[in-house]
Amino acid sequence: MIQVIDFHKTYRETVAVRGLSFEVPAGAILGLVGANGAGKTTTLRSLAGIIPPTQGRLLVAGHDVVKEPLAAKAQLAYVPDDPKLFDELTVWEHLEFIASAYRVANFQPLADELLVQMELTEKRDALAQGLSRGMRQKVAIACAYLHQPRAILLDEPMTGLDPHGIRTFKASVAERAKLGAAVVLSSHLLSMVEDLCTHLLILARGQSLFCGTLAEARSRFPQMSGEASLEEIFFHATAG
């Protein structure tokens, strides 16, 4: 569902990502982890078609993000770490806008379900400018789900969410994967990644240190015990 093939991204003299390749099948949740500056956001923004790759191919549902941008973007949703809403639109008007942009027919029943799921029903008619950081995040996630994308890209999506909101969000991601979406989730919360994700990609200085399941990570690093946590695996993999 998501394919990254020999992806490179260079900003003038700075190499942000170098020769990255990975795949995310339908129904999988890939945890994208790494230190600040490892290339996580660059990878997600390039997959979303926001910034062009310097080299390589990025495909979503079989569509090349560079050569077929509209077809690729129609199949994906991207939630950045600080989503920008329209201050003068209400929560419901955001959903109406997304439905129009993605040509979602009869969107109202699903939009109502998403308001309930994201605990936004009471904020339906509230302007975005009056929402808290966590509420704005929930609106962005609800909008991302509305056109039922086949690929979902989430960059630090739990910023501003309270514990109950985090639990609700995790359940929603698991549900989307169960329905067949491929999910890439970037987060520094390693315990959450370990709890939620089916696959793992560890980045360092724009390169892949490991890509596979958590069980495969434990076998990849034989010094780790069979019960090693993701935190232990991450620090072992990135040491030095």
Q: Which class is domain 2-81+151-238? A: alpha beta
The mean pLDDT value of the chain amounts to: 92
> Would you place residue 222 in the very low, low, confident or very high pLDDT band (cuts 50, 70, 90)?
low
Q: Compare 178 and 224 and report the one with higher pLDDT.
A: 178
Residue 224 has pLDDT above 70, yes or no: no
- The pLDDT tens digits for 205-219 are 999 999 998 888 878
This prediction has a pTM of: 0.93
> Would you place residue 223 in the very low, low, confident or very high pLDDT band (cuts 50, 70, 90)?
low
Residue 51 has pLDDT above 60, yes or no: yes
Backbone angles phi, psi at 67, to 5 degrees: -85, -30
Q: Which two tokens stand for residue 204?
A: 């360092």
As a whole number of Å, the end-to-end CA separation of the chain is 33
Query: Mean pLDDT across the stretch 79-94?
Result: 94
Backbone angles phi, psi at 235, to 5 degrees: -70, -30
Q: Which long-range contacts (CB under 8 A, 24 or more apart) does 218-222 make?
A: none
Angle between helices 91-101 and 133-146 (to 10 degrees): 30
Q: What is the pLDDT of residue 81?
A: 87
> Can you tell me the distance from the alpha carbon of 78 to that of 82, in angstroms, rounded to the nearest whole number?
11
Q: Are strands 55-60 and 151-155 parallel, antiparallel or unpaired?
A: unpaired
